[in-house]
Amino acid sequence: MRLTRYGALLAKVLLLGLLLSALIWPDLSGIKGKASTARLVVYPLGAMVLPLWWWAYGRTRSKLHRTFPWSADLLMTLPWLIDLVGNRLNLFDTIGWWDDAMHFVLWGFLTAGVLLAFAPEGLPRGLTVFTALGFGTTAAVVWEVGEYVTFVRNSPELQTAYTDTLGDLTLGTLGALLAGLIVHRFRRTPSTSNV
């Protein structure tokens, strides 16, 4: 538990450092021309959703957690951090499979974190998977619409955007599906029935 807490805090510190460096040295950030302003707003919000919810509501009224859910927080922070690191190192533009892998893995992390934080334990497998698909697919659609509005429509990527978007949505949905199955398996108790 302590290691997870330190990992979540370290991920937030690294994310903040990368965001600050993108503000100070925008040409070196790897996100210039890729909706950098939107990322500078959305990424910290995405990483702080759970702590803000916990501070405002969860710590006093959560039926799911008696203490702060550090594992969920780490899983909900990693997608933003890994995306920034990937952009900083120019991996999205230099490694052909990187973008596809990230859509699968990062939506899996994000969906797993949301399930661990907000979905009650003991849900049947079918309901856990449907919840994962509902969140993960919706989040993937919102992400792709955001990409289109903020930078794809005015970039050279527009020529391949349709195919790329369909692939990204498919991979994000598959990542969410896998997250639902893993979280259910992780949480399953002998008395939990499978649907």
Q: Are 139 and 151 in contact (CB under 8 A)?
A: no
Q: pLDDT-based confidence at 155, cuts 50/70/90? A: confident
Average per-residue pLDDT for the chain: 87
pLDDT at 180 over 80: yes
Residue 54, φ and ψ in degrees, nearest 5: -65, -45
Residue with tokens 């399953």: 188
Q: How many CB atoms lie within 10 A of CB 31?
A: 23
Instruction: Name the phi and psi angles at 32, rounded to 5.
Output: -65, 130
Q: What is the DSSP letter of 101?
A: H
Largest pairwise CA distance in the chain: 55
Q: Report pLDDT digits (tens) over 111-140.
A: 999 999 999 888 999 999 999 999 999 999
Q: What is the pTM of this model?
A: 0.86
Question: What is residue 69's predicted lDDT score, i.e. its pLDDT?
Answer: 93
Classify 195 as helix, strand or coil.
coil
When pLDDT is cut at 50, 70 and 90, the band that residue 33 belongs to is low
Q: Which residue has the higher pLDDT, 38 or 50?
A: 50
Dihedral of alpha carbons 167, 170, 175, 176, sign? positive
Determine the length of the chain. Answer: 195
Q: How many CB atoms lie within 10 A of CB 96?
A: 8
Mean pLDDT of 86-106: 91
Q: H or E element: which one contains 45? A: helix 36-53
- How large is the average pLDDT for residues 32-43? 80
Token pair listed for 135? 């969140």
pLDDT band at 194; cut points 50, 70, 90: very low
- pLDDT for res 22: 84
Output the six-digit token pair for 57.
């509501």
pLDDT of residue 179: 97
Question: Residue 57's pLDDT is what?
Answer: 83
Q: Is the pLDDT of residue 193 over 60?
A: no
Under the banding of pLDDT at 50, 70 and 90, the label for residue 8 is very high
Q: CA separation (Å) from 22 to 26, 87, 89, 141, 172? A: 5, 11, 13, 26, 26
Range among 63-67, 69-73, 91-95, 153-157 rated most confident = 69-73
DSSP 141-181: HHHHHHHHHHTGGGSGGGGGHHHHHHHHHHHHHHHHHHHHH
User: According to the model, what pLDDT value does residue 93 have?
Assistant: 83
Torsion sign over Cα 61, 64, 69, 72: negative
Check residue 63 and give its pLDDT.
Answer: 67
